[in-house]
Structure 1
Amino acid sequence: MKTLIDHLGQYAEYHRDRRNIASHFIGIPLIVVAVAVLLSRPGFEVLGLWLSPAAFVALASALFYLRLDRRFGLVMAALLGLSLWAGAALAVQGAGTWLGAGLGMFVVGWVIQFVGHYYEGRKPAFVDDLMGLVVGPLFVVAELAFMLGLRKEVERAVEERAGPTRIRTNKAAF
């Protein structure tokens, strides 16, 4: 299995423009919550917990993140829990509210992602490796940690592989 640095470094190679990274702080959370909302039906309550396909996807994702890194994994598990809460809250609403919210967040999130990749001048990472869809949320959490001055050793290792962030001046089509 690839290491935390392997995953973040490979993903970071597609995300060096600061504007692209900034777009991911909005787009990726919208997409994660949208997926939780859309996968929260069908579902049923057991002992106060809403069990749905979203719960199983979140559990598998949390285990993946925890296996890569305990600290980031705990943060990701908490964020996935919040996404599940939002998904369950919308899943019990009418079909129009549930579907409109889920699809709306999903589409807006991806539009924001592609705007960021326009600035990057490069296609999204998942086009070459589907694991990018799972690593993307972790990348956002790691970038936030780096901005807060945390996990400097991880930041250095990722930048050794991918290079420093920058603002591109030439916008090539992806």
Structure 2
Amino acid sequence: MKDVVEQLSSYKSVHLNPANIKTHFVGIPLIIWSLFLLLGMVRFDTPGGQVSLAMVFTLIVLVYYLWLHARLAIGMVVFILPVLYTSEAMVASPHALWIAVSVFVVGWIFQLIGHQYEKAKPAFVDDLNQLLIGPLFLMAEVYFALGWEKSLEQEIAPIARRKRMALETAKAG
């Protein structure tokens, strides 16, 4: 399995344009929230009470992030728990499905607009795992902006630029 440096540098290689990154700060949270709402609609009973697929997914994804990078995983917990809470609260709405689908579409519109600035295809096109790395990438960007995890930033940035140059060379050739 690829380590966090390889995962983040692959993602960053098609997210170098600041305008693209800004659109992702809107689009990715919208997509995540809508997916959590959809997953929250799938519920099952356990001896401890009702559990949703969103709760199970949250646990699995947070363990994956912890495996990749413990400090970034802490930030992801701070982000994901309110997303889980608010999406679980919305499940009871009679319009939950339409809300989830609408928010999902709006989120992807932001993503696609961002990639017009970038002039590069989304990372998940070549590696579906990058769908899970997008949120972690945004958390890393927050950490970098706060001056945290500078060694990680210094490690992934040159790799990302080399990967991007290779992509552009392959595209031109």
Q: Return the TM-score normalized by structure 1.
A: 0.87
Amino acid at match of 1:92: A
Number of residues of Structure 1 aligned to a counterpart in Structure 2: 162
Query: Structure 2 regions of 5+ residues with no counterpart?
Result: 163-173
From 155, 158, 162, give the equivalent of 2:156: 158
1:81 matched to 2:53? The reply is no
In the TM superposition, what whole-angstrom CA distance separates every residue of 1:98-128 from its partner, at most 9, and x where no partner exists? 1122111100000000000001001100000
Structure 1, unaligned stretches of length 5 or more? 165-174
Higher helix share: 2
2:49 & 2:72 partners in 1: Cα distance? 24
Q: Distance in 1 between matches of 2:119 and 2:49?
A: 43
- Equivalence for 1:123: 121
Question: What is the distance in 1 between the residues matched to 2:116 and 2:82?
Answer: 30
Q: CA deviation at 1:25?
A: 0.5
Among the aligned pairs, what percent are the same residue? 37
What amino acid does structure 1 have at the position aligned with 2:12? A
Say whether 1:22 aligns with 2:22: yes
Cα distance in 1 between the residues matched to 2:49 and 2:74: 20
Q: Return the alpha-carbon distance in structure 1 between the equivalents of residues 115 and 148 of structure 2.
A: 26
Alignment of 1:99-110 (within 5 A): 99-110=97-108
SS of corresponding position for 1:123: coil
2:40 is paired with a residue of what secondary structure? coil
CA positional deviation for 1:163: 2.6
The offset of 1:46, in angstroms, is 6.6
Q: Distance in 2 between matches of 1:157 and 1:41?
A: 40
Secondary structure at the counterpart of residue 51 of structure 1? strand
Distance 1:78 1:47 in 2: 28
Deviates more, 1:48-57 or 1:31-40: 48-57
TM-score normalised according to structure 2 size: 0.87
